[in-house]
Amino acid sequence: MKMNNKNSQKLKLYKDFKRVLAPIILLLLSNACLSAMYPEYPIEQDINESILIFKGKLVDEYYQKREGTYTKRSRDGSLFKGKRDKLFTIYVFSINEILKGNYKQDTIEVMMLGGCENGYCAVSTAGYSYDLGDEALLFLRGREGYPSTYLSLLGASTVFDIDSSGRLLKQSLGEPRYNENKQLIKINENGEFIIDKDPLTLDSLRLKIKQEAKK
């Protein structure tokens, strides 16, 4: 289902909120909380756990309701599972390069929890956002029971923007990604912002993927 103007405006407000206020929220959080929200894993682990890694450009997006499951505790303390519809945003990317995996189509749809419908927006803390025409690099996994559905491996932690130097900027960091000296920053294992002295780039990622394939 395509987004109407009202939904599109709501989604734009959410994206603006995420891009402007997310860094402020991150700065206010404790180190322990940051580390729990966005734990750092070796990029080699993300490579091995992904079924597809690609670089592409966003050409379309729409929302869709799909049945999902949830777990809830009853009054007697027991757990039970139920089903309910969940709202998803479907990002449609044209593919420029496949770095890992087999995929033969020119475009791919990536599903993200959250979206807008009839003026109502549901968002996820692990969500990410792109505008039409944005370039991106994503690590993908499948969804059990949906063989043709792809999701980000670890939400915003495995979704990257690409800067003019070919550096990969993890969306879970929010913005800005640079300090006052224009140096790239990242979050270390203690949840602290530090200078990224060896930033991940497209070229270094390509090399790491080849090295992991030989193991």
19: domain CATH number?
Answer: 2.40.50.120
25 CA to centre of own chain:
18
Tens digit of pLDDT for each residue in 179-214?
A: 777 788 877 777 777 888 888 999 999 999 999 999
Q: How far apart are the first and last CA of the chain?
A: 43
pTM: 0.74
From residue 197, alpha-carbon distances to 48, 132, 185, 188, 194 in Å are: 24, 31, 8, 12, 9
How high is the pLDDT of residue 174?
64
How high is the pLDDT of residue 17?
46
Low-confidence ranges of the chain (pLDDT < 70): 1-40, 68-74, 77, 80, 120, 123-126, 145, 173-176
How high is the pLDDT of residue 104?
92
Measure the CA–CA gap between 176 and 1, rounded to whole angstroms: 33
Per-residue burial over 51-83, b if 16 or more Cβ lie within 10 Å, else e, is ebbbbbbbeebebeeeeeeeeeeeeeeeeeeee
Measure the CA–CA gap between 131 and 65, rounded to whole angstroms: 21
Number of domains in the chain: 1
Measure the CA–CA gap between 52 and 74, rounded to whole angstroms: 39
Amino acid residing at 91: Y
How high is the pLDDT of residue 31?
41
How high is the pLDDT of residue 137?
97
Residue that is written with structure tokens 């990622």 in the block:
205
Q: 85 is written with which tokens? A: 């519809």
Q: Give the domain range for residue 169.
A: 5-213
